Amino acid sequence: MRPPFTRTRLMTAAGSIAALVGLTTQMAAAAPTPAAAPAAAQAHTSPIKHVVEVMLENHSFDNLFGSFPGAEGIPAGTTLQNPKATYDSAPPVSPVWASPNEGDVYAGIDNSRAAVQMSMDYQPRQGYLMDHYTMFPSNGMASITEFGPQFTPNQQYLAGHYALEDHNFQPAIAPTQPNVMYALNADAHGWMYNNLNPDDTQPWNSVFDELADRHRTGRVYYGVPRSHLTGTIWEKIVPPDLADLSTADQFFSDAASDSLPDFSFVRPGVDYSGEPEEDLGNPDAWIGQIVDAVAKSPAWDSTAIFVTYDEGGGFWDHVPPRTAHAFGYGERTPTMIVSPYVRQGVFHQETTNMSILSFMQKQWDMPPLNTLNARQNDLSDAFDFTQAPLPAPRMPVAPTDTLAFRGGKDTSHAPIPKQNSPATFTLEANGSGLTLDPTAQGPVTLTMVPPKGVAVPATFPSTVDLTDGWASFTTTFTRPGFYRIKAEGPDGSVGWQTVDVGVNATTLPTP
């Protein structure tokens, strides 16, 4: 039987991003060794007083951690059915690795229930769709484009220094909202689609109700203005005290003042979720800001942080899920556990995002919400409360501000330019709470990685100036492809944007 953990060699310091990328080589040299199983945690002795779950969006395990040492990554020589094949008339294809100019994929990738069914790698004869396709045909090669460790240095650091779950499955074969509801309710109430403004008034019976019933605290922190959540499903998930539905700014304030609730559920804003078409750089930097804030707070010694993804986003993953209930499980998704008491290494046991509910219930003597919740792995084997506490993380990328690329002075996405047509990009300096930092002033250095064999556009500026947190520039792209831009501004502010020019689902990375 495979041990629950594979241990890996760790870096001795955070180092630079370049050093972090070298982590893959260092850790590959470490021989896997089993870890002893911990004693079952007892609620009255648990040192865990705070649980922080940060949920990003729409990436499968193989998509971000397919080459991580010690994990069940993409097998060598993997081939898949060609998405262009109506039957078996097209040659097989293999997963491709994103090149340095591609920090995202084509924006049109489909993550509907049907797409997820096709992107899961079922074994033969498990149903026509899953047997014949391994990716949703309209997603093309985008669904098997994988990202190496250089795109997510903070998450690679956390996985290497703390714990990475390599058998965590999304709870449902469905898009974002049902999977978020399973993570908080252990139930999606029959919804397998996104509906942010539901009409029915049934009680949701979420973990927040359970916490309130036991005089514990919980809060949803969202990286958007509070007004954007009025009348949405979020006001039904939290208890009647809507003060428990707050902003990401409040999270950082609460962390600094040692006022974090027992359970913090943190969600990103526009351009920080990682969902295609969003570049992976800014979400990863935001993870660095969040973990850094907790690490520097008085709560670090009593906290477990879980960095999760709501669902796989239509990206392929090679490990087939088992059928655990009527609507799932779905694809594997990455989960990192960060705590002084987590066992370092790769955690191989089957989990879902509902396991975090079970973990809190185990630590704090709360009953499961339902039978599906009761069947979840409670992560006891992922922790050792007798070990010498691990040191606080030193995040590779944790800027005071990030620089978001917008379509204007609002929260719109950056433009998707047409070839040979001028496109204007607006830079917004965002504080850690993902709101405008009007104090950001000064020059911003812009660099670009164009497609291989293509020159940086002559109209692309090397610098722009931030004024009251804003800057803009215009450039024209004369050749198609992916262009990755990095912006470096005052006081270490940084941001990334991949510009998609004339690409589609079949556009391959340029090695």
The residues pairing with 470 across neighbouring beta strands, listed in sequence order, are 428, 467
For residue 27, the model assigns a pLDDT of 32
DSSP assignment of 121-161 equals: -PPTTS-HHHHH-SS-GGGGGGGGEE--GGG-HHHHHHHHH
For residue 154, the model assigns a pLDDT of 99
For residue 40, the model assigns a pLDDT of 40
Question: Residue ranges of the domains in the chain?
Answer: 50-197+204-382, 401-501
For residue 115, the model assigns a pLDDT of 77
For residue 442, the model assigns a pLDDT of 98
Spatial separation of the C-alpha atoms in residues 496 and 499, rounded to whole Å: 10
pLDDT, averaged per 10 consecutive residues of the chain (511 residues), comes to 61 36 34 35 73 97 97 92 67 90 86 76 48 62 92 99 98 89 87 63 77 94 85 71 85 98 95 92 98 98 98 90 83 97 98 98 97 97 98 98 94 91 98 97 99 97 98 97 98 97 83 66
- Report CA torsion sign: 110, 82, 323, 165: negative
Token pair recorded at residue 135:
């990716």
C-alpha pair distances (Å), 192 with each of 57, 232, 357:
16, 17, 21
Q: Are 212 and 222 spatial neighbours (Cβ–Cβ below 8 Å)?
A: no
CATH classification code of 50-197+204-382: 3.40.720
For residue 16, the model assigns a pLDDT of 37
For residue 182, the model assigns a pLDDT of 93
The full length of the chain comes to: 511
Spatial separation of the C-alpha atoms in residues 330 and 327, rounded to whole Å: 8
Domain made up of 401-501: CATH architecture: Sandwich (2.60)
Spatial separation of the C-alpha atoms in residues 451 and 203, rounded to whole Å: 51
For residue 132, the model assigns a pLDDT of 47
